[in-house]
Every structure is written in C-alpha cells, then in structure tokens.
Amino acid sequence: MNRTILFTVLLALSAFALTGCEQQKKTAKTTQAAVKKYVRATVLEGVVSNDSGVINTGTVEVIDENGRLINQVTVDKGHYRIEVPANTVLPILLRFSSELGTETLVTAVIHDTITQYEINPLTTAIAKAAKAMGGYTHANMIRAADSSVHAPDANKTTTGWRGDPSMQYGGWH
C-alpha cells in the first residue's frame, strides 16, 4: 500500500515537472524576437509637420537605436524621400532637425513593409513613450499610440488602435 502511494506521488511529481519544463520551453520560444531588417535598399518618404503645418526646410536623418547616422536628406517643401541601405536592422528612427536647430521631431520605423512615415509632434510623442516602455516594439508602439491620444473605447480594436492619425500604427479604419 505504501509503495503504491509512493509510486503515485512520484508519478504525479514527474508529470508536473515535465509539464513545467514544456511550459518553460514554450515561453522561451515565444520571447525570442525575430530580427527584422530591410533585405534590399528601401526608400522611405513622407511629410514633416508641426502644429503650425508643413515644415518647409530642414534635414531628415535615418539613425539606428544607438544614434549612428545611416543616411540623411534635405526636406523639400515639407516632403522627404530617403533611402535606407539593404541589411539595415530595425528599429530605426527618422529624425527631423530644423535648419536653425530649434525643432527636432522623430518617428520610429519598426516594420520593413511600410514605406511612408509622417514626422510630427504626435509621432515624436509615440516614439518617446514606446522607448520609455522598453523599446520600439510593435506592442509598445501600439500602447504608446493608444495612450498619446484619448479615443473612446468604441474607436479601438483588438488588433490595434483605430484612431492613429499618423496612420502608422493602425490608421483610420
């Protein structure tokens, strides 16, 4: 009788330990993020604006998370068009600086399939908030966009925020 109880207890503990190991393996697999990068040279473009409207002149730089300059271009009548070299690892930032250095705006680039990015005070706030949340991940960018502008719950979806005026993290549906 004691052997049967002991055997049952050992069997239950073994099953519990194996389940824990399997759960740990699943957790380890899901936490590994795939490195995203531009496979080929890609052109990013968009408009730079502030609360007063389009900013006609300045410079847009492509920088990595460490602040290393990748490329730069001059803004022409508020528009920019800049090439990101092949094998550039994401995330990267598009950083605008006005000619006088009085204004700096940014937007974070986290997806290799999106090529149009607005750069404005809202994208700057979203990028700063995402960085403060732990980095420029899709989840952090969605949370940052959601918390940057107050939208009614009816204007949100389970896949992302519907009311993103920058149209980069869900857009207007």
Q: What is the mean pLDDT of residues 99-128?
A: 94
Same structural domain, 95 and 119? yes
Same structural domain, 120 and 142? yes
Region at 131 (left for phi over 0; alpha for psi -120 to 50; beta for the rest): alpha
CB neighbour burial string for 93-106, b if at least 16 within 10 angstroms, e if fewer: bbbbbbeeeeeebb
Q: What is the mean pLDDT of residues 77-96?
A: 97
Same structural domain, 49 and 125? yes
Same structural domain, 75 and 137? yes
> Distance (Å, rounded) from C-alpha 20 to C-alpha 25?
9
pLDDT at 155 over 70: no
Q: In the chain, pLDDT over 70 holds for what percent of residues?
A: 66
Same structural domain, 68 and 144? yes
pLDDT at 82 over 90: yes
The predicted pLDDT at position 166 comes to 57
Same structural domain, 64 and 111? yes
What pLDDT digit, counting tens, does each position of 25-56 carry?
444 444 456 789 999 999 999 999 999 999 99
Tell if the pTM clears 0.85, that is, is over it. no
> Distance (Å, rounded) from C-alpha 124 to C-alpha 130?
10
Same structural domain, 26 and 102? no
Residue 27 domain-assigned (yes or no): yes
Does residue 160 or residue 49 have the better pLDDT? 49
Q: How many domains does the chain have?
A: 2
> Distance (Å, rounded) from C-alpha 116 to C-alpha 94?
11
Alpha carbon separation from 102 to 8, 53, 58 (Å, rounded) = 73, 16, 10
What pLDDT digit, counting tens, does each position of 133-152 carry?
999 999 999 999 988 766 56
DSSP letter, residue 134: T
The predicted pLDDT at position 11 comes to 45
Q: What is the mean pLDDT of residues 54-62?
A: 96
Alpha carbon separation from 125 to 10, 15, 94, 129, 134 (Å, rounded) = 55, 49, 13, 6, 15
Identify the domain containing residue 62 by its residue range.
Answer: 42-155
Residue 91 domain-assigned (yes or no): yes
Residue 167 domain-assigned (yes or no): no
Same structural domain, 46 and 27? no
Same structural domain, 17 and 80? no
Residue 161 domain-assigned (yes or no): no
The predicted pLDDT at position 34 comes to 75
Same structural domain, 80 and 118? yes
Same structural domain, 18 and 46? no
Does residue 20 or residue 105 have the better pLDDT? 105
pLDDT at 8 over 90: no
The CATH number of the domain holding residue 136 is: 2.60.40.1120
